């Protein structure tokens, strides 16, 4: 019997949408944010591995493998793709994890800690699109494995360094 791979792995800057053929979305994030949108009734979910808050050059074409790179771009692609696959925009909810500030600075300038800026940008876009953020595990200073189950709607966050597992 052929064993199907039921996990869709999301690469840095990538975006995946799953329906019944896959049951789980998975990625690893540090300062990047793993945002999941899902319609639990239609069984459609998407995950983006967001690197940066906003596309600076709006005219620049988004390549397929980097649809999840920028928060503004990614959420638009996620919503469009999910609706095409049967999701009801009114039922779509969000969960997210990541956005850590990995490097500490004596001056605390946050000069290259893009994590908090990613979190803030995503919340703003979710708010503007009336998408409820059900739960989040964001900030702090450690990397996270993030798994989202399409069946349960649960997001499992694991830190190898802190040796913790959390379900949100």
Interaction of residue 112 with other proteins, rule CB under 8 A: yes
Closer residue to other proteins, CB minimum distance, 10 or 17: 10
Distance, in Å, from the CA atom of 49 to the CA atom of 117, rounded to the nearest integer, reads: 14
**Which region, judged by CB under 8 A, interacts with other proteins, from 34-42, 88-96, 121-129, 137-145?**
137-145
Interaction of residue 103 with other proteins, rule CB under 8 A: yes
Closer residue to other proteins, CB minimum distance, 107 or 130: 107
Q: Which residues of 21-49 are buried (b: 16+ CB within 10 A; e: fewer)?
A: ebbbbbbbbbbbbbbbbbbeebbbbbbbb
- What is the spatial order of strands in the sheet that 33-39 belongs to? 15-18, 44-50, 33-39, 93-98, 133-138
Q: What is the DSSP letter of 70?
A: B
| Beta bridge mates, 148 | 25, 155
Candidate list 46, 113, 138, 156; residue touching other proteins; CB under 8 A: 113
Of 15, 29, 32, 100, which one is the catalytic site residue?
Answer: 32
**Which region, judged by CB under 8 A, interacts with other proteins, from 38-46, 75-83, 89-97, 112-120?**
112-120
Candidate list 39, 143, 156, 157; residue touching other proteins; CB under 8 A: 143
* Total count of residues recorded for the chain: 168
Q: Please indicate whether residue 32 is annotated as part of the active site.
A: yes
Write down the least CB distance from residue 95 to other proteins, Å: 20
Write down the least CB distance from residue 49 to other proteins, Å: 9
Within 13 Å of residue 54, how many CA atoms lie on the same side as its CB?
9
Distance, in Å, from the CA atom of 45 to the CA atom of 38, rounded to the nearest integer, reads: 4
Q: Which residues, numbered 70-99, are part of the site for other proteins (CB under 8 A)? A: none
Can you tell me whether residue 81 is helix, strand or coil?
A: helix
For other proteins, the binding residues (CB under 8 A) are 11-14, 28-32, 51-52, 56, 65-66, 69, 100, 102-107, 109, 111-115, 141-143, 160-161
């Amino acid at each position: 019997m052929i064993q199907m791979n039921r996990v869709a792995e999301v690469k840095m800057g990538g975006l995946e949408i799953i329906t019944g053929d896959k049951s789980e979305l998975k990625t690893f994030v540090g300062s990047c944010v793993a945002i999941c949108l899902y319609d639990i009734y239609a069984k459609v979910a998407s995950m983006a591995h967001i690197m940066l808050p906003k596309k600076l050059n709006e005219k620049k074409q988004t390549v397929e493998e980097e649809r999840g790179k920028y928060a503004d771009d990614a959420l638009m692609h996620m919503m469009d793709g999910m609706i095409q696959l049967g999701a009801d925009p009114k039922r779509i909810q969000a969960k997210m994890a990541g956005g850590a500030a990995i490097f500490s600075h004596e001056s605390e300038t946050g000069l290259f800690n893009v994590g908090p800026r990613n979190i803030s940008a995503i919340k703003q876009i979710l708010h503007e699109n009336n998408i409820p953020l059900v739960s989040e595990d964001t900030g702090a200073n450690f990397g996270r494995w993030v798994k989202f189950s399409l069946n349960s709607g649960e997001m499992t966050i694991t830190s190898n360094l802190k040796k913790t597992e959390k379900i949100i």
